[in-house]
Amino acid sequence: MGCTIGIDLGTTNSCMAISEGGNAVVIQTGEGPRVMPSVVAFTPAGDRLVGIVAKRQAITNPKDTVTSIKRLMGRKYEELEKETFNVSYDIIPNDKGDAVVRISDGRTFTPQEISSMILQKMKYRAEEFLGEEVTDVVVTVPAHFNEIQRKATKAACTIAGLNVKRVLNEPTAAALAFTDAVERRKIAVFDFGGGTFDISILQVVNGIFEVKATTGNTQLGGDDFDARLVDWIMNEFKRSKGIDLSDDPVAPQRVREAAERAKCELSTALETSINLPFIASSDIGPVHLEMSITRGLFEGLVRDLVESTKPLCEQVMEDAGLTHDDLETVVLVGGSTRIPLVRKLVEETFHQEPVHSVNPDEVVAMGAAIAGSVVSGQRKDLVLLDVTSLTLGVETLGGIMAPIIEKNSPLPIKRSKMFTTAVDNQQVVGIHVLQGERTLAEENRSLARFELVGISPAPRGVPRIEVSFSIDANGILFVNAKDAVTGKHQEMKVNPSGGLSDEDIRRLIQDARQNRETDRDRIKLIEVRNIADQSIYEASKLLNSSRDRLDADSTGELEAALQELRTARDGSSIDAVEGAMKEISMVMHTVRNILNMVDSMEEEDSSGGIATLDVSEE
């Protein structure tokens, strides 16, 4: 049986790891960093780019570069209308009302499809790293993700050719990576990433990791900090220069990238500068954006967002039945926890200095890898006990939600409640499954609707209808409604895809399989082109610096090899590019040898050809 990898599918960056000998090892992305930007881009030439190469061309191709897709997972378009998204691409509703991405050529993609492209790239990298096929995965999600969002994430993995062994809450994964199995601890995991915030309380006793309570905000993260800073920069530029950058197709993306860099720099510096030359033009010529941003200014812009996490932290402590003195450790997870203001709030809230000895960008993937070793049977010393993040129930008479499984209930779980009819001789009962904490049904998230048919005619209030909810270890919900008199029952697995039908998923899986080899070839071609660009740069530099010292034949040979590489680089043949790079490498080696000989001859000529001793005759 193959290995099970752990994947942290993040809003800003994604990371993957494998458990070897009980220890988690981060799998390199193959592009330098240990994390991969969660970015997908579509080029005018028809190429699909993922990761760093996609992020690099965001400025020149903003409408076709998709970022922060995690914030759209399993969500309806109408839910997003009150939110601010720091993105350049179009978000529209499809015919089901789900939020989808539209690129400039009119094509639309669901968040699951975009996420599957990121996962495919990670799967490919993992197989390169391990030297074997990878099929099984433990994937993490924010603890406060609802059922639809969890199933949308699982559907994305399925489309990418990955078999999900477990859907694990991110704070639980972080605790797994941080805490030794033999330790006895009560831990708070403060998880503040690029697009989501979670706070969870866990108790670890003799290898049993039990989540006591969890809560959070799936629409709060580092993206919101960036958006605040972008708005301030653009407003300040408009005030000082009289130019509105929001009307420009490229300028806002340049400002977004500069704002993200400034945010990161202000975590270690008290002040940073933003310099964007030729950001706009006016009657007098080009206009540049130049301004300084202090940490105090940035903290003022985002303070309310940071402080909005404090009530959630206090709530989760109350839900867990603990006080600040009961906690041994507070662990920081997610890139946004590098911000000094965030760390200060955590320290003030929990009355202790948080732990940041683990890399917040990697710890979740490492924990997922450890969970993978548990579900695959490699480790027997750990037990994972997670909880539901939100209350689950059904709509009753008057539009009231009747809870069946309360939030923070341990998983797996099965609960039932008895209901009756509201109308005489009612033979059909509609079951409306809801998730949320509000009393009114319409204020909670609708998960599914179905009907129980065949109830025995009887006066209202007489029939006994048992509604059962069961949730497995992955947080997947099953609903069953049964008439106690007739035995008639109806069971369903709540929408497993977050908007995609089973047929949609099968079609996307088939498309992904058909395109898998093509995608790998494209990735390889892009990588080879990047190497070729470096060779072209070095060869051009060598040619320009040595043209006056080379004979016509050597110069012509290098120019010909350079032109051949440029032509191959613009083509679609990997073999042609590699062959041209090999050829130019040999030519450059020969040219450098010739230059070394020329340099030696010039040194000899400058000394007169014969060395003399500076001595005087006695």
Known catalytic residues are: 8, 70, 170, 191
Backbone angles phi, psi at 520, to 5 degrees: -65, -40
- Residue corresponding to tokens 């991110």: 170
Partners of 433 in beta bridges: 394, 448
Residue 186 tokens read as 């009560």
Whether the CB-CB separation of 520 and 167 falls below 8 Å is answered with: no
Tell which phi-psi region holds residue 57, choosing left (phi > 0), alpha (psi between -120 and 50) or beta. alpha
DSSP assignment string, 297-319:
HHHHHHHHHHHTTHHHHHHHHHH
- Residue corresponding to tokens 């839910």: 79
Q: Is residue 518 classed as helix, strand or coil in its secondary structure?
A: helix
Question: How many helices (H) does the chain have, and how many strands (E)?
Answer: 14, 27
DSSP assignment string, 346-374:
HHHHHTSPPB--S-TTTHHHHHHHHHHHH
CA atoms within 13 A on the CB side of 603: 6
For residue 62, count other CB atoms closer than 10 A to its CB: 21
For residue 9, count other CB atoms closer than 10 A to its CB: 27
State the greatest distance between any 2 C-alpha atoms of the chain, in Å, as a whole number.
138
Partners of 25 in beta bridges: 18
Whether the CB-CB separation of 306 and 340 falls below 8 Å is answered with: no
Q: If we measure between CA atoms, which residue out of 254, 187, 251, 198 comes closest to residue 221?
A: 198
Cα dihedral value 317, 320, 326, 329, nearest 10: -70
Q: What letters, b where the CB count within 10 A reaches 16 and e where it falls short, cover 189-199?
A: bbbbbbbbbbb
Whether the CB-CB separation of 505 and 164 falls below 8 Å is answered with: no
The length of the chain in residues reads 618
Which DSSP symbol is given to 510? Answer: H
Residue 594 tokens read as 């010739």
Q: Is the dihedral of CA 263, 174, 159, 98 positive or negative?
A: negative
Partners of 92 in beta bridges: 100
- Residue corresponding to tokens 């450890």: 370
Compute the distance between CA of residue 537 and CA of residue 220 in angstroms, rounded to an integer: 43
Q: Give the Å distances, CA to CA, from 272 to 230, 236, 276, 278, 303.
A: 15, 16, 13, 20, 19
Whether the CB-CB separation of 111 and 73 falls below 8 Å is answered with: yes
